[in-house]
Structure 1
Amino acid sequence: MHIRKNQRNLTSAEKKRFVSTVLQLKRQGGYDEFVRQHVQYYRADGDDGPRAGHMAPSFLPWHRKYLLEFERALQRIDPKVTVPYWDWTTDNTPAASLWSEDFLGGDGRSSDGQVTTGAFAYAAGNWNINDGVLERKFLARAFGRPASPIALPTKAELAWAMDESVYDAAPWDSTVTRGFRNRLEGWTAGSDKTRWRNHNRVHRWVGGQMLGATAPHDPVFWLHHAFVDLLWDRWQQKHPKSTYLPQRRLDDDDPQHGRAISLDEPMPPWRTKPSQMLSHQSLYRYDA
């Protein structure tokens, strides 16, 4: 049993251990495999095949499994390392501790978004990006999206999701207007500044690689999703009678048949089912 800590509570030694282990996984080639996996399973509403990672009920259990596999890869290098979480409702400015030079580094420069501080800066020589999607080889960020400013989600905006008592609902995609899953994931039909909620807004606020399917290129991705995972746990405690939906495989004539994953269907690329990921207490716990 290991503990995932709030990043603001990490000691200098714990920060150094996490960074050095992530860099080692990168050197071994394992880190980029996780990025490619996320790209493969980032499917939009209209895509064929199972939508395992995003815009679907399995968003939360899929990322719990994905995050756990990443954490295990780190622990094969250093058994003492765990993935910390970033509470973006509290640590919500560029001055927050996770952006320090001894941890994740800071914002990108205004000219091209390139991160120039910390161990993940291109100039440090340890974090070259080559994913065939963007021509730039460096980690980029644009905190707050200066061209059209946005803020990180507030506690009230998060409460809007946490207060929803139903897990998910038809049509089980990004257009659904109720359900905790999509309120937390954050797809809406609003105008530009209100369109992105909670999880999605955080990706938009960070910018750079975090804007798309290659988001794990930015190590903050893991801290962001550890908090999303913690929020799912808090929601389950708040709504103990609510459960994962859909419970059963969708009918053949349902437009989402073969796309939305039900409780006991496997989530690719693993054989793991959402029902196996409903609780993490036997694997790890949070310090919250």
Structure 2
Amino acid sequence: MGVRKNQQNLTATEKTNLVNALLAIKQSGVYDTFVRQHIDRLNGDSDNGTRIGHRSPSFLPWHRKFLLDFERALQAVDPTVSLPYWDWTTAGAGSSLWATDFMGPNGSPSQNGRVTSGPFAGSSWPLSVRSDSAGFLRRSFGSGGVSLPTARDVRTVLDIRTYDTAPWNSTSAGSFRNGLEGFRGPNLHNRVHVWVNGTMAGAGSPNDPVFWLHHCHVDKLWSDWQIRNGRNTYIPVAGTANVVDIDEVMQPWGDVTPRDMLDHSSHYTYE
């Protein structure tokens, strides 16, 4: 069982091991299977139709399973690697997260946001599976005046006591899931994607390795909420059209339900 750390607390060796594992599964083609899975799922989710990975109660358990599968792929290369989380309330554009020996820097405004240095620039990180025309990693921090969520924003969402509410989509009010996903209230998860911008702003967002650190923090916030409110809080329970009830399987796995993902303690813990 691994311990997921705040990326700010990683040792130099832990950072190097993570980067090397990311590069290894990229080179083998395994990385791109996760990008394709996310593109297909996001494109298949809609407010008024089937929704599984986004805009729905299963947003959090779906991504917990997605993260767990990805972490296991990294650990197949290096068993010492665990996904770290990016706490965007304390680590902005000036963070060591963006160092050239870790996630790499912001993109170049004169080159369509292209990231030109770091491990994920150039020929070592081609975007062969993507949702836009750019075959390279792009970032444009804070484009359009968007800011990262604050600690106060996070507290506001964590204080919502109900896991989710009808109509179980992006319009759900008084919903912890929707507040965290970012369609209502302070806008947490979605806002971070928009702040990084570039590759992170589209369906192919996992092409940016910071996607995994971002979603690891989203998962941690769900874990923090569960500590306050209990794990057996997922709704809807049964009989709801177009969304995944607690004991229904989540595609594409076919044998994993939201209930299976409510307790992560046998797989990993957070520091």
TM-score of the two chains, using structure 1 as the length reference: 0.90
Partner of residue 270, structure 2: 286
Q: Partners of 1:73 and 1:128 in 2: how far apart?
A: 19
Partner of residue 243, structure 1: 233
Unaligned runs of at least 5 residues, structure 2? none
Partner of residue 102, structure 2: 103
Task: Name the one with the larger helix percent.
Answer: 2
In the TM superposition, what is the alpha-carbon distance from 1:249 to its structure 2 partner? 2.7
In the TM superposition, what is the alpha-carbon distance from 1:260 to its structure 2 partner? 0.8
In the TM superposition, what is the alpha-carbon distance from 1:119 to its structure 2 partner? 0.5
Q: Partners of 1:229 and 1:162 in 2: how far apart?
A: 12
Closer, same or farther: CA 169–142 of 1 in aligned 2, 3 Å: same
Q: Secondary structure at the match of 2:165?
A: coil
What percent of counterpart residues are identical?
A: 48
Q: Partners of 2:151 and 2:117 in 1: how far apart?
A: 29
Q: Partners of 2:160 and 2:270 in 1: how far apart?
A: 23
Aligned residue identity for 2:4: R
Unaligned runs of at least 5 residues, structure 1? 189-194, 251-256
Q: Partners of 2:251 and 2:149 in 1: how far apart?
A: 30
In the TM superposition, what is the alpha-carbon distance from 1:132 to its structure 2 partner? 5.2
Matches within 5 A, 1:177-196: 177-188=173-184
Aligned residue identity for 2:78: D
Contact residue 165 and residue 242 of structure 1 kept, 8 A: no
Aligned residue identity for 2:227: Q
Partner of residue 254, structure 1: none
Aligned residue identity for 1:214: G
In the TM superposition, what is the alpha-carbon distance from 1:44 to its structure 2 partner? 3.7
Flag as ranges the 4+ runs of structure 1 deviating above 4 A.
none
Partner of residue 144, structure 1: 142
Aligned residue identity for 2:264: H
TM-score of the two chains, using structure 2 as the length reference: 0.95
Contact residue 35 and residue 130 of structure 2 kept, 8 A: no
Q: Secondary structure at the match of 2:266?
A: coil
Partner of residue 207, structure 1: 197
Contact residue 107 and residue 116 of structure 2 kept, 8 A: yes
Q: Partners of 1:140 and 1:227 in 2: how far apart?
A: 21
1:158 aligns to 2:140 (yes or no): no
Q: Secondary structure at the match of 1:182?
A: helix
Contact residue 38 and residue 206 of structure 2 kept, 8 A: yes
In the TM superposition, what is the alpha-carbon distance from 1:47 to its structure 2 partner? 6.1
In the TM superposition, what is the alpha-carbon distance from 1:95 to its structure 2 partner? 1.2
Closer, same or farther: CA 47–132 of 1 in aligned 2, 3 Å: farther
| Deviation digits for residues 15-65 of structure 1 (CA, Å, limit 9, x no counterpart) | 11100110000010000000000011113424643x111000000000000
Matches within 5 A, 1:164-179: 164-179=160-175
Q: Partners of 1:53 and 1:266 in 2: how far apart?
A: 12
Closer, same or farther: CA 70–237 of 1 in aligned 2, 3 Å: same
Aligned residue identity for 1:248: A
Q: Partners of 1:241 and 1:77 in 2: how far apart?
A: 32
Contact residue 144 and residue 150 of structure 1 kept, 8 A: yes
Q: Secondary structure at the match of 2:3?
A: strand
